[in-house]
Structure 1
Amino acid sequence: MKYYKLTLEDFKRVFEFGTNYYIDPSKNTTGRTTGEPRGLGAILDAFTLGKLTEIGIEKIFTEFNKNKFYILDFDIKSNNQVMDEPDILHIKEKENLRNPNLFVEIKNTSENDRWIGLTEEQFNTIKRSAGSNKVYMIYASIRSQTINNNPKTTDLTGMFLKEIEDKNKSEIFQKFANLNAECKIEFIISSSDLENFAYPFERGMNMYETNLFEEKKSSSFYSKDGIRKDVLDIKEYKDFNGTMNLEIEKGLYPEKEDISKFEIRGSFKIIQKRKKCFIECTSNVVAKNDIFGKFDLEKNKFYSFNLVTLGRDPKLKRNNLFISKKRFLSSP
């Protein structure tokens, strides 16, 4: 079993932890980046997704080996007791409580996340804390069935409040979906995997989209009168088998050559417009990049080269080690 359906008791466990954390007078509840005070709702939001993911992994592990119980950190510690510890603190086996032989870091990843990895600072801290133990990072998602395809109806707090709401007194939260959440393991990577396969995105670099080739219609380039006026240049390559740096737009490349350098095999045309580069495939084309993975492009189809930045502020504030999910999911 690689997935687990979270229960009401799991939600109660997480919300009790978040509430106890908030109510503890010794805990600082101001935001890390803004410095503004956070209310109970913000504290619950900060903990709910991560802690539910930890519980999901705990239950999946127990299902694989029913002779072991995996102990997570749900204690409210004083500030001087907080340490850089694994997410699975202890293992109970045959009534004996022992420390784990592996350092496990559990992370949530959503369907829309393009990358997995850690900041360089986080990774170094984990390696120091792990000592001689091997390090594994488990990335898991939590998915829920929406109402009318509205993702807001599956807000975790909203579904929990609906579940515990006394409808004789209030029906405020009945607009949310019934409590349903499934935790699924998406990726498991070791510290060696991160060191060997992650790309070092340095502070100040851009974060990029990983779905690089988006299918387009031929009418974007050709009309009944021939080539459209906004097409600046077309170059044809027959039976190409080599490396090529693809432009973001005419004359513009990303900050490092590795990002735009592709191994390409096939016959195709590179079409340049003012703001983007496009590919017309005159045969099946394979494009591979060490950072983004492998892309199979079909004959007689047109694709935009969609190397665009992610988010409103794509500039990274720290050094990072990231692996593209697309690279993991690409066929060899």
Structure 2
Amino acid sequence: MAVTKKIIHKVTDDEVKQCWEFGLKYFLDDTKSTQNRTGGQNRGVGGVLDSFMNKIVEIAVCKELSKLNKSIDCLPDFEIHALNKGKTEPDVYKIVEKKYKKERNPNVYVEIKNISDADNWLGPKADEIESIQNNDYKITDTKKMFYVYGELVDSKHDSNKRHSSILGAYMKKLIPGDPVLMNFHDVSDLSVEIKYVFSVHDIQKLGVSFPKGGYMVSPEIFVEPAAKTKIRIRNNMKSGQYKKMNVGNKTLPKETGAFLTKAGREKTRLPYPKSFGDIKFKGKIEMHEEKLSSLVNHFFYCLNDVAISSDVLGDWNFKKGDVQNYRITYSGRDPELIKNNTFVARRNQKITDRLGAIRLAEIAKSI
């Protein structure tokens, strides 16, 4: 297991101001689209500003790279580029050699992503790789293409989540004393934690394949019922209301709990992802199936302590007497894939421990 080390960057007022001004300039540029990238909805100035506040993660990564290699300054991309279809620029845009006061292009390609709790899979989509391989810096080796994932964290995380907003915090600073804006936390409460660092080569080597025409599936395959629901499930198991399943081979059934519905087509069961392989367990369980019109539940009762393991998804441990629901379902609004993709399950620590923040030093040395 790799050594884990946290890299946390404290956010400053000047850094947030840089994101604020970039967002305003972008919005006022008539050549730029104001549509949301994923949904296509038009955004006003507030929506554009909110999205570009995420560039604080790019600033944080560049600052931390510069700390790790004191001979250089890493500059984030804060230029408003003309549309250049089919090509992207790296987020670490330029390198300044301090000794010679000379600016140059980076020697490795770095893409910086803002990660949240909702992100279950790590890695670039196939079209992203195609795009960055067609870069102006002639960096085509996947071992020299890096992804850095950072997360904006709030020291007051235990309070109201809606009060934690980098845009709200900066507006609070701009308009001091406003009774509504006073509800937001302060910029001084915010930091960026570097969570994962890996190359495209790492993901292609360590990740799981999601082929074109297949479906994006959630790696969170167990749903814990509420305490009262567990009692009801256990009683229904005892009374024979569910179909009992054979799990004597110490492998969970290769069945899913979701249906696919498409216009003009009959409802079909989501296929089990072949790339998941076997999901094995140690211990004793009773498993029962409940088929409903919209989903299928696979409830199991732990007769003793149970350890479940998957090379792709990671490990789980459940205590004797526990009741869980094994339910594989799709992920996202449009789960059918139009290209081949390769990802790593974020919850699989056997892999993600090798992709930790400590690897930022690898980039700092080679960039």
TM tier, shorter chain? 0.7 to 0.9
Deviations 1:65-108 (A, max 9, x none): 33321011111233359952211122222223232221111111
SS at match of 1:25: coil
Aligned identity (percent) is 25
Give the Cα–Cα distance (whole angstroms) in 1 for the partners of residues 247 and 30 of structure 2: 68
1:196 is aligned to 205
> Matches of 2:182 and 2:320 in 1, distance apart?
50
Instruction: Report 1 or 2 for greater relative contact order, CA contacts < 8 Å, sequence distance ≥ 6.
Output: 2
In structure 2, the CA distance between the partners of 1:172 and 1:138, relative to structure 1 (3 Å rule), is same
TM-score (norm 2): 0.77
Aligned counterpart, 1:121: 127
1:92 aligns with 2:92: no
The one-letter code of the counterpart of 2:274 is E
C-alpha contact 1:115 1:322 (8 A) present in aligned 2: yes
2:303 is aligned with 1:282: yes
Q: Which moved more, 1:141-150 or 1:268-277?
A: 141-150
Q: How does 1:136-285 map to 2 (within 5 A)?
A: 136-146=146-156, 149-167=159-177, 170-179=178-187, 180-203=189-212, 205-216=214-225, 219-223=231-235, 227-235=238-246, 237=248, 243-249=251-257, 254-259=271-276, 261-274=278-291, 275-285=296-306
* Conserved 8 A contact 2:62-2:74: yes
Shift in Å, 1:319: 4.2
Report the Cα distance in structure 1 between the residues aligned to 2:183 and 2:41, rounded to whole angstroms: 30
Residue aligning to 2:114: 108
8 Å contact kept, 1:212–1:307: yes
1:172 CA drift (Å):
3.4
Structure 1, residues 37-72: CA drift from partner, whole Å, max 9, x if none? 4321121123221x1110111122223233321011
RMSD, aligned CA: 3.1
Q: Secondary structure at the match of 1:69?
A: strand
Match of 1:67 in 2: 71
Q: d(CA) in 1 for partners of 2:40 and 2:326?
A: 40
Deviations 1:210-253 (A, max 9, x none): 22234455523434x9813532215463xx55x44343359956
Q: Please say which of residues 296-305 and 74-83 is displaced more in the overlay.
A: 74-83
Instruction: Give the total of aligned pairs.
Output: 325
Greater strand fraction, Structure 1 or Structure 2: 1
Q: 1:328 & 1:310 partners in 2: Cα distance?
A: 20
| Partner Cα separation in structure 2 for residue 290 and residue 78 of structure 1 | 44
Which stretch shifts more, 146-155 or 193-202? Answer: 146-155
Partner residue of 1:77 out of 75, 81, 106:
81
String of CA shifts for 1:117-174, please: whole Å, max 9, x gaps. Answer: 222111122234322471111111111144763211112211110111143xx43312
The Cα of 1:261 is off from its aligned counterpart by 3.1
Q: Structure 1 CA distance, aligned partners of 2:183 and 2:232?
A: 43
- Unpaired runs of 5+ residues, structure 1, are none
Seen in structure 2, the aligned counterparts of structure 1 residues 203 and 171 have a Cα distance that, compared at 3 Å, is farther
Determine if contact 1:253/1:260 at 8 Å carries over to the other structure: no
| Matched residue type, 1:219 | I
Q: 1:184 deviation in Å?
A: 0.7
The answer as to whether partners of 2:148 and 2:198 remain within 8 angstroms in 1 is yes
Which segment drifts farther, 127-136 or 183-192?
A: 127-136
Q: CA deviation at 1:327?
A: 1.5
